[in-house]
Amino acid sequence: MTASMQSSVGNPGAEKRGMNLTLRIWRQQGPTAKGKMVTYKITDISPDMSFLEMLDVLNEQLILQGDDPVAFDHDCREGICGMCGVMINGQAHGPQQTTTCQLHMRSFKDGDSIDIEPWRASPFPVIKDLAVDRRAFDRIIQAGGYISVPTGTAPDAHATPVPKADSDAAFDAATCIGCGACVAACPNASSMLFTAAKVTHLGLMPQGQPERNDRVVNMIAQQDREGFGGCTNIGECSAACPKGISMETISRLNHDLLGALRAGARPKS
Amino acid sequence: MAVSGIVMVLYLIAHMIGNLKAFSGAESFNSYSAWIRTVGNPALPGQTTLWIIRIALLVAVVAHIWAAVSLWRQAKRARPERYVTKKAVAQSYASRTMRWGGVIILAFIIYHILDLTTGTVNPEGHDSTPYDRLVASFENPLVTAFYAISVILLGMHLRHGIWSATQTLGQSNRRREKTVSAFAFGFATLLTLGFLLVPLSVLFGLID
C-alpha cells in the first residue's frame, strides 16, 4: 500500500487511473411498479473498492444530479451478516464465490459492462431497485430452525460431549448467513440449500435431537408455503454460496425428512 | 422422481440385456420374445407376468411425469420474472436437458412401442416376427438416428438422474459424492452403449 502511495506522491505527473465502467441496473420504484434496466456510466473507479463502495460512488453522483439513488441492501460489509447480495452479470454475488460486499472491483476490467439485478424469486419480492424482502427465510426458521432450551444459567461447556467430526460438519452448515444467493442462483428458485444448512446444523448436535423430526417436516412445509421451487440437485446453489455450503446438506435433509415421515411426523398446519 | 426413476432403470437394465440376444440370431431373439410372454406359465396364465411388469412401468412413467410437471410448474411460479442476464456456473449439460430431454424420450418411447412391440408403424407390419421388425426398422438410417439421439439423451438423463436420486433419497454425502458421480457416469455410458450396439449393427449389416 505504502509503495503505491509513495509512487503516486513521488510522481506527480503520473496520472491516477481508475476504471471506467458501464452499469446496467434494475430500477423499480416500488413492489408493484414495473421495473427496467437503466444504463449508467461511472468513471475513475479504484480496483481496491468493494462492489458496494462502487455503488456508493454511483449513488453520490446520482444524488448530486438530483436523481434517485439506487436502493440496495447492505449492513456489516464484512461478509458475515448476509444482508447484501445482488445478481452481478448473471451470477449471485458476482464472479467470486463471496458476498457482494467482499467482491472487489479488481475482479473487473476497465471498460467492462456490468449488469446488476435483484434476487429473482416470487417469495423474495422486490422492495425497491435491488432490495428484496427476504422475510420468507425468517418464516422458514420460525417453522423449526431453532432448539427449545430451558432458560437458566449456561450449562458447562463439556456437559454434552459432541464428536469432533459432527461439530465440524455442524459448524460448516452453521456458517450459512441466509443471504439468499442459493435461491437467486437456482434455476428452480428453490431454497433447499438454505433449509438444508439449518437442518444439518441442528440435526448434527445433541441439542437438536428432540425436535429433529418435527423440524424438518415443518421447515419443508413452510418453504413450500412460501412458494419456493423444488430442488432438482443442479448444484448452482452450492457454487454460488459465499460460505460454500455443500450439496451434502441437501442429502442430509432428505434423509432426515424420509426418516421423520416414516416415524409419523407431520407438519403443523 | 427418484423411486419411479429407479423402477424404470431396473427395467432398462433387463431390456438392454434382452436386446443383445439379437446377436445370437433370429431364432434365439424370437424365442426370447416369446418366453417374455409366457414367463410364469402355467402357474400364471398367459401374459400375466408381462402385464404386471407393463402396469408397474406405466405407473412409474405416470408418477415420473406427474412429479416432473409439478416441479416444472413450481419452478415457473417461483420465478415469474426472469433474469435479464443469467450465467450458469455449476449445471451440467445433462442436468440442463432433464426436462426437454425427458419430453423427447417420452415421444421416442411411444414411437418405439408402435414400431417394435405392436408393429403399427413398422414396415413389416404387426404380424411379423420381432426379429424381422427389428431389422426392417433399423435398416432405415433415419430411424436409427432418432433411436441413437434418444438413447444418448436417455444416457444423459440417467447421468444426472442417478446422482439426483441419490440426493433425494438422502444417500449421498461428501465422502460418497465422487463415487456416486463416477458410478452415474459409468452406468449411463454402459447402458447407452449397450442400447446403441444392436441398431448400429443392423444399420452396418452385422445383423440382417
Q: Tell me the domains of chain B and their CATH numbers.
A: 2-203 (1.20.1300)
Of A229, A247, A259, the CB nearest to B74: A229
A257 vs B contacts (CB less than 8 Å) = 170
d(CA B92, CA B13): 24
User: Alpha helices, DSSP H only, in chain A?
Assistant: 2-10, 51-64, 135-142, 164-174, 181-185, 192-203, 212-226, 236-240, 248-262
Select the more confidently predicted residue: A149 or A167.
Answer: A167
- pLDDT of A159 strictly over 90: no
Which residues 80-99 in chain B show a CB within 8 A of chain A? 80-91, 95, 98
The model's pLDDT over B42-55, given as tens digits with 9 standing for 90+, comes to: 899 989 999 999 99
B102 vs A contacts (CB less than 8 Å) = none
Select the more confidently predicted residue: A9 or A253.
Answer: A253
pTM of the predicted model as reported, rounded to 2 decimal places: 0.92
A235 — contact with chain B (CB < 8 Å)? yes
- pLDDT of B150 strictly over 80: yes
Distance from the Cα of B170 to chain A's closest Cα (Å) equals 4
Q: Which cell goes with B73?
A: 410448474
Best interface-test mutation with A: which of B70, B87, B160, B178 has the largest number of A CBs within 10 A? B87
d(CA A223, CA B101): 28
- pLDDT of A237 strictly over 80: yes
Mean pLDDT score across all residues of chain B: 95
- pLDDT of B202 strictly over 70: yes
- pLDDT of A158 strictly over 90: no
At which residue does the C-alpha cell 420460525 appear?
A142
At which residue does the C-alpha cell 459448524 appear?
A171
B82 vs A contacts (CB less than 8 Å) = 120
DSSP β-ladder status, A131-132 and A126-128: antiparallel
Proportion of chain A above pLDDT 70, given as a percent: 94
Q: Do A185 and B89 touch (CB under 8 A)?
A: yes
Cβ contact A144:A215 at 8 Å: yes
Helix (H) or strand (E) holding A38: strand A36-45
Cβ contact A180:A135 at 8 Å: no
Q: Do A233 and B75 touch (CB under 8 A)?
A: no
Domains recognised in chain A with CATH numbers: 17-127 (3.10.20.30), 135-147+163-262 (1.10.1060.10)
Look at residue B208 in the predicted model and tell me its pLDDT. Answer: 82
* Global ipTM: 0.92
d(CA B131, CA A74): 69
